[in-house]
Structure 1
Amino acid sequence: MEALGLDASLRLSKVNVLTNVLKMGRFGLASGVKIDPSCKNAYDLLHNKHQHSYIIFKIDKNDTAIVVEKVGDKGAPYSEFVEEMKKAVDGGKECRYAAVDVEVQVQRQGTEGGSKLNKVIFVQYCPDEAPVRRRMLYASSVRALKSTLGLESLMQVQASDLSDLDERAIKHDLVSSQRT
């Protein structure tokens, strides 16, 4: 009898695994969260046309889609992005994603003076104070967002505290990665 129970249990496990694989969808999205088309549209305007300075993304209240929460006007300072993130994350209790167009001064070898360079960075903000379920949902959904928007080649900032969004540190990392 016990062997029969184990057999039935293994079959149920296989069904559960298959069900979970089917739920993952085309982007390997275990969370089942979809990417709203507005995310791609906003990102294209930021990355290709530089019409925005930043985009803050969130998972909607039904936990079914990643949507655009806030778009920064062209030319808005980095400090505005940080202030909007502070509001969006409710004092460090919520998770968010963001794409930010950052301008840095780069010194190229063999040239005098520096040149301005705009680079888009991807921010995954997930504070330790956020509920575990939210952190897991954001962590399991990030791959789909990055794949849909084509963010794999961008500098990634994983922040667990608002101080991790320090402008000077991020610009320093960008400049260091651009030295030729």
Structure 2
Amino acid sequence: MNVLFASGVKVDSSCKTAFDDLFNKHKHSYIIFKIGKNDTAIEVEKIGDKNAPYSEFLEEIKKAVEGGKECRYAAVDVEVTVQRQGAEGASKLSKVVFIQYCPDESPVRKRMLYASSVRALKATLGLESLMQVQASDLSDLDEKAIKSDLMSHQRT
């Protein structure tokens, strides 16, 4: 299924396959998506191994944006520990977070292309129920802050 929106950018079918493997089967720890060279399709750039730490994801997205010249989308499987009311002990939950990362240093044209194309990716992947983060700096992707946000969205 290729969804095309106002930006003219379509979503490559490999994005949906990789996302389903991450979201439903937890085969990966993260996926980094990019808009390809000709600005015509969103494609998978990097897939993190199942047990890769969050710090690896941060390193990979930092490399991908080339010092702030590029933007990226990502889906990250984040594990949080929650204490549920009435339950003994804590339980671990795995939640997928969608990230739209456009550094302030990236060219305006790139930021606009990523902003206008995100709806196609969200529609293809079915992201309505995921926590979503819009980041313009690596500090916006701090693991503790994201886990804290996830915890505040959990019903206990």
What TM-score, normalized to structure 1?
A: 0.84
Aligned mate of 2:104, from 125, 128, 131: 128
Aligned mate of 1:88, from 59, 64, 69: 64
CA displacement at 1:110 relative to structure 2:
1.1
The structure number with the bigger radius of gyration is 1
In structure 1, what residue type is equivalent to 2:141? L
In structure 2, what residue type is equivalent to 1:67? E
Percent of matched pairs sharing the same residue: 80
The equivalent residue for 1:143 is 119
Q: Structure 1 residue runs of 4+, over 3 Å off?
A: none
The equivalent residue for 2:24 is 48
The equivalent residue for 1:100 is 76
Asked whether the 8 Å contact 2:80–2:92 carries over to 1, the reply is yes
CA displacement at 1:91 relative to structure 2:
1.6
CA displacement at 1:112 relative to structure 2:
2.2
CA distance, structure 2, for counterparts of residue 179 and residue 31 of structure 1: 37
The gaps in structure 1 that reach 5 residues or longer are: 1-25
Asked whether the 8 Å contact 1:108–1:114 carries over to 2, the reply is yes
The equivalent residue for 2:129 is 153
Aligned mate of 2:9, from 33, 39, 64: 33
The equivalent residue for 1:162 is 138
The equivalent residue for 2:93 is 117
Three-state SS of the structure 1 residue aligned to 2:99 is strand
In structure 1, what residue type is equivalent to 2:111? R
In structure 1, what residue type is equivalent to 2:133? V
CA displacement at 1:27 relative to structure 2:
5.1
Q: Which has the bigger relative contact order, CA under 8 A and spacing at least 6?
A: 2
CA distance, structure 1, for counterparts of residue 90 and residue 153 of structure 2: 15
**C-alpha deviations, 1:25-83, integer Å up to 9, x for none?**
x9571110000000000001000110000000000010000000000000110000000
Aligned residues: 155
CA distance, structure 2, for counterparts of residue 173 and residue 109 of structure 1: 19
More helix, by proportion: 1
The equivalent residue for 1:66 is 42
What TM-score, normalized to structure 2?
A: 0.96
Aligned mate of 1:78, from 54, 76, 81: 54
